[in-house]
Structure 1
Amino acid sequence: MKNIKNKIKKIISNIMEIEIKKIHDKTNLITDLKVDSLDIIEIIMAIEEKFNIEIPESEVEKFNTINFITEYIQKNKK
């Protein structure tokens, strides 16, 4: 699980161009990191590619914390 979280944090850090140490498990992508809809799409695509999963559009709006994303990947990873 920690490995998944670190990979997610690295993806977000690279896309948002922020230091990885500023991203915590409960960091809210929208309110804390000011992620916009285009950034979310880029993050989702990177996560899908990295973890070889498909994330339905209906789930995307729930992707707001590192904890949620990690749990989702664990449950849906192939």
Structure 2
Amino acid sequence: MTNDEIFNKVKDILVDQFDLEDDEVKLSTNLSDDIDADSLDLFEVLNRVEDDFDIQLAVAEDIATVQDLVDKIAEQEKAAK
């Protein structure tokens, strides 16, 4: 899966989870500052990402932006091959 495909899937999750418009989610979007996601929100997003991508993410302390999340998913998918 390409990074663009990963981003689009992540964007769909965030749009659904936070009732956002598509254009509100960019790679540079900060999950806590721009979307007001708290730790519980982030936990729910990560659970959904794990389910949708069939991966396991380690502790998410270093995931601040959508780009960070896309990179983590790409890294996990690459490691699974």
User: So what's the TM-score if we normalise by structure 1?
Assistant: 0.90
Structure 1 residues not aligned, in runs of 5+: none
How many pairs are equivalent?
76
Counterparts of 1:1-78 in structure 2, within 5 Å, are: 1-57=3-59, 60-77=60-77, 78=80
Q: How far apart, CA to CA, are the structure 1 residues paired with 2:37 and 2:23?
A: 17
The alignment-based identity, stated in percent, is 28
**Corresponding letter in the other structure for 1:15:** Q
Q: How far apart, CA to CA, are the structure 2 residues paired with 1:47 and 1:28?
A: 17
Q: Quote the RMSD (CA, aligned, Å).
A: 0.9
Q: How far apart, CA to CA, are the structure 2 residues paired with 1:41 and 1:35?
A: 10
1:46 Cα deviation after fit: 0.5
Runs of 4+ in 1 over 2 A off after TM superposition: none
- The CA deviation string for residues 5-27 of structure 1, in whole angstroms up to 9 with x for no partner, is 00001101111111121011100
**Corresponding letter in the other structure for 1:2:** D
Structure 2 residues not aligned, in runs of 5+: none
